[in-house]
Chain A
Amino acid sequence: MTSYVIRRIILGVPTLAAISVISFFIIQLPEGDFLDRKIAQLEQEFGDRSSLERVEALRVRYGLDRPLWNRYINWVAGFARGDFGESFEYEREVKEVIWERLGFTVLISLGSLVLTYMVAIPLGIYSATHQHKWSDNLLTMVSFIGMSIPGFLLALGLMVFAFEAFGVPLCGLFSLEYEGAPWSWGKFEDLLKHLWIPLIVVGINGTAELMRIMRGNLLDVLGQPFINTARAKGVKEWVAITKHAVRIAINPLISHMGMSLPRLFSGAALVSIVLGLPTVGPLLLRSLLNEDIYLSGTILMMYSLLLLIGNLLADIGLACADPRIRYE
């Protein structure tokens, strides 16, 4: 097991390297760079050749005059010392910019991950054990709706609903008076009051999907002979389900978790833009549009790393949950 984990970690390095190359070069495929936007602005301001010289100086400062591969190597070489380059737009270090937004990003993503599993697994079990009853049919219908509504649309819908019904826009994470105030119990409560919308919106697709998976798997397992054996032995029905059936049926959900981590992050990105949340997502979108290359490249790398870590954790989790699975 240990050697397997180590091997996986080592394999992750070339994967990340490949991702970094792709993300760095694709970002810069469109014509023009951040400075071309800047030139537009400076020319508006100065309208003369001096502004062009000025821009050339900026180009040197940002290293945009050097060839692409050279810039790439400089960028990647900095990783080892924790240097991810400078954001052009914010004129600060990339890691500082991301760091300021990371807290809420993690909060929302992990929060909805927990919410997703806490809601989806019990409902999936309930749905499977009550197959074709009206409650199952209702849950099935709800989960199909949940799977097919895009998160950003739901967010907009909820906001309009909340606004029409109660007259407050539910954007942001705090009410006006707590925004920027030091942490207090009141502020925490206020956060909880706002947090449920992003959590639900980010988690809804995953919840609906997991619920379907859980239901299907459990139905498969419930028909199998060992469950009948357990029942025949006189094991109570709920013990047979939770101890014998669910333990097998839950395996795909664990491997699913590896995938859901990055998906939650990118799902949170769209929703954050719509809800105006201070997370990394809107930062990524803007940096991509502006060709703020080091910032967007670093965020993409971070997402990729999450994917790798998620997968690894899921595999390890799977091994722990199901003694039959061994990695050699």
Chain B
Amino acid sequence: MRSLKAYFGVLIALAGCQAQQTADPDLSHYPRGLEAREAPTLAKLVDEGKLPPLEMRLPENPLVARHDYDGYEGAGVYGGTWHHIHAAADLGIWKNVGGYTALIRWNRECNGLESGLAESWEYNEDGTILTLRLRKGLKWSDGHPYTSEDFAFYYELCLDERHQYNPPVWCLVDGTPMTVETPDAHTIVMRFAGPNWLVPLWLATNVANSCDIYNIPKHYMIQFHPDYNPEYKDFDEFERRWNKTHLNPERPSLWPWCLARIEGAGYRVVLERNPYYYVVDDLGRQLPYIDRVVTQLVPDHQVRLLKILAGEVDCQFRLPKSRDLSLYLKGQKKGGYTVRRWTDGSGGDPSVVLNWSAPDPVLRELIREQRFRKALAFAIDRDKCNAIAWQGLLQPQAATISEESWHFDDEEGRVLFEEWKRTYSEYNRELADRLLDDIGLDERDGEQYRIRPDGRRLSIVMDVPAANEHQEQNDVSLIIAENWRALGIEVLINAQQGAERYLSMRLGRHTVSLTHEAEMDLFTYPDWVFPTSPRSWHPKVGEWYKWGGQRGEPPTGPLKGLLDIYDAMKKEKDIQKRHEYVRQAVRIHIDQGPFVIGTVARRPALVIVTDHFHNVPQKGILGTWAVVQPATSYPEQYYIQYGESK
């Protein structure tokens, strides 16, 4: 038995030996350390004549990565492989690290925009013309120039009736799409049918919505375009290759690391450095520092945990779960990594969404009664939710958007936000009971449940995510149900899998539903606060707004007020005044809410950083996808170095 154990021990030890990434001996005579202005692998290719020299590959005015954050250690060395984990074939998590090559970017503080592929942008006086100036000499990863032609090609496709894609929402003013002109290779002029001040934000917001869509390599795509290549009769093949940055290694890319191989149907994805990447550090050295990214599909949460504990993952965002915090902390030394506590920036994890247009007419009337909503809010024991579902890691509060949102970025804003966060967030059973009695729900049946005005038992179906999809929210739902039952309301929990919960929310079939709530920017994603789209607490009114009054239910009361504010906000030129409008809307939520009931929020989002991995910020926000973190901290300047000296 002992020998058997020893044998396995040897096997396992052998299996675990990791060859450290050693440099190719050929590269030894290329400058290393901080003297190198480009990766030695690229310098070699230049010498062999396979690649143009660095000056030819960089734009005239390359973007210099900002690094004024806590956690920045200095300019890095070239080389190494970043081992990373992804959870789904669409590489969504990775795109928020290495896929943010937008025309205009969110800054890291999430309180403004900074230049990206476009060096500068300006509006005319009335906001109808936006002019973008691209950096001169930008190139795709195959060396072909990136110009205004590429954007024009994208927009032509949007207008092309034969093609499935429509013009994006941000380019429409009262239903009329913009026109795009390209006076020269590095100027894009967009003309709108009316004032349209939010376009730069839309160009920067959310990778999947912005650069992933409008960055199209025309020179590559026209091979599959029926107008350019008579071989193709329709857009089928074109579709298959269009914005599949994560699926098609052949497609030229602008990413710092471009897709090189996909193995085993997405099991393992390899990305290699882009020799034409347009960002440099402040010494003028080309980024990224790290040569290669290898990201592996690990579907099981426990296995991810184990891989991280073993130090097999160099740096990981979004996947480590906060409930494993103590395990991760315990394993730091052995695994050779540290845990950084970023935040998910949420205002509710979960938030309890009450459907303003609930299908049952009696419940609908009740939900529109502020005292009823208040009673539901006061009945929830948030400390218990926090302790049981989240091990006390979160904070009890009312449902809000993200605390870090730029709408509240001054003294007055912070005071307002603090008030919003506190309103309707205390636990007060007596008050809740009294409120329900006051609105005439004081009769009870044999089982002590309250009787509705129509004589039936007051019973609510609560849609919650299945435990295998979101354990913590499922746990919280049990506590809410217990609290509400104590109030005399029967609660039936309906655990839903996959698309079901989303679908019923979109169609407005839900009465009460749980969902994660986090939003940084209400200008582009208004619908937590403003009833502008058919989802969340306002599916029918949102439908009405979205379809210009042709469908859904017209807004009344506070919802009308919110939509009026939103319409005024959209036309406002001055950004301070726009923030002002958001605050007015929040005031309505405070005075006439709660429309969404808060439970607990602000989950620590764990970031794993191994000891040889450098320049990762100490703090950040990983909940909302709009502001694209960590990409706004320029992950291309993260570097790998073993030992102390540079």
Chain A positions near chain B (C-beta within 8 angstroms): 30-33, 36-37, 39-41, 43-51, 53-54, 57-58, 61, 89-92, 96-98, 100-101, 104, 156, 159-160, 162-163, 165-172, 175-177, 179-180, 190, 193-194, 196, 273-276, 278, 282-283, 285-286, 289-291
Contacts and interface: CB of A to CB of B under 8 A. Distances in A.
- 4 tightest A-B CB contacts, nearest first: A168-B16, A57-B164, A48-B169, A278-B264
B19 A61 contact: no
A91 B247 contact: yes
Contacts of B18: 175-177
Contacts of A37: 498-499, 502
A201 to B, nearest CB: 13
Given A58-B164, A274-B300, A91 B15 contact: no
B245 to A, nearest CB: 12
Contacts of B525: 44, 47
Interface in B206-221: 206, 208-209, 213
B309 interface: yes
Contacts of A92: 247
Contacts of A172: 296
Contacts of A168: 12-13, 15-16, 310
A227 to B, nearest CB: 35
A61 B163 CA distance: 11
Contacts of A32: 498-500, 502-503
B267 A176 contact: no
B340 interface: no
Contacts of B13: 166, 168
A33 B500 CA distance: 9
B29 interface: no
B169 A169 contact: no
Contacts of B168: 46, 50
A166 B300 contact: no
A172 B296 CA distance: 10
Given A101-B267, A168-B15, A175-B17, 15 more contacts: A36-B499, A44-B525, A48-B172, A50-B169, A51-B169, A54-B166, A61-B164, A89-B89, A100-B263, A104-B264, A156-B302, A165-B9, A169-B309, A276-B307, A290-B498
B499 A47 contact: no
Q: Give the interface centre of B165, B266, B532 by most chain A CB atoms within 10 Å.
A: B266
A87 to B, nearest CB: 9
Q: Give the interface centre of A90, A92, A166, A289 by most chain B CB atoms within 10 Å.
A: A166
B264 A101 contact: yes
12 contacts: A32-B502, A37-B499, A48-B546, A90-B247, A159-B303, A169-B306, A169-B310, A171-B307, A179-B268, A190-B15, A289-B497, A289-B498
B167 to A, nearest CB: 6
A159 B236 CA distance: 45
A278 B312 contact: no
Contacts of B334: 167
Contacts of B164: 54, 57-58, 61
B487 interface: no
Interface of B: 9, 11-19, 83, 88-90, 164-169, 172, 206, 208-209, 213, 236, 239-240, 244, 247, 261, 263-268, 270, 294, 296-300, 302-303, 306-307, 309-310, 312, 334, 497-500, 502-503, 506, 525, 527, 532-533, 535, 546-547, 625
A169 B303 contact: yes
B461 to A, nearest CB: 15
A166 B12 contact: yes
A156 B303 CA distance: 8
Nearest to B547: A49
Contacts of A61: 164, 236, 239
Nearest to A156: B302
Contacts of B213: 45
Nearest to B546: A49
A11 B546 CA distance: 56
B70 to A, nearest CB: 30
Nearest to A45: B209
Nearest to A177: B19
Contacts of A51: 166, 169
B83 A274 contact: no
Contacts of A45: 206, 208-209, 213
Contacts of B239: 61
Contacts of B15: 168, 170, 175, 190, 193-194
B88 to A, nearest CB: 8
A276 B546 CA distance: 43
B559 to A, nearest CB: 17
Q: Give the interface centre of B12, B88, B164, B165 by most chain A CB atoms within 10 Å.
A: B12
Contacts of A171: 298, 303, 306-307
A274 B309 CA distance: 16
Contact of B503 (A31, A50, A91, A167): A31
Contacts of B263: 100, 180, 278
A285 B88 CA distance: 12
B307 A47 contact: no
B300 A276 contact: yes
Contacts of A196: 11
A54 B165 contact: yes
Contacts of A275: 303
B299 A286 contact: yes
A45 B294 CA distance: 27
A193 B14 contact: yes
A273 B297 CA distance: 10
Contact of A180 (B236, B268, B506): B268
Contacts of A162: 12
Contacts of A39: 506
A289 B14 CA distance: 37
B500 A167 contact: no
Contacts of B247: 90-92
Contacts of A96: 265
Given A37-B499, A176-B18, A289-B498, A163 B310 contact: yes
B179 to A, nearest CB: 17
Contacts of A170: 12, 15
Contacts of B244: 91
A37 B154 CA distance: 25
Contacts of A97: 265
A286 B267 CA distance: 13
A285 to B, nearest CB: 8
B209 A46 contact: yes
Contacts of B19: 177
A276 B264 contact: no
Nearest to B498: A289
A176 B83 contact: yes
Contacts of A47: 169, 525, 527, 532-533
Contacts of B302: 156, 274
A37 B497 CA distance: 12
Contacts of B17: 175
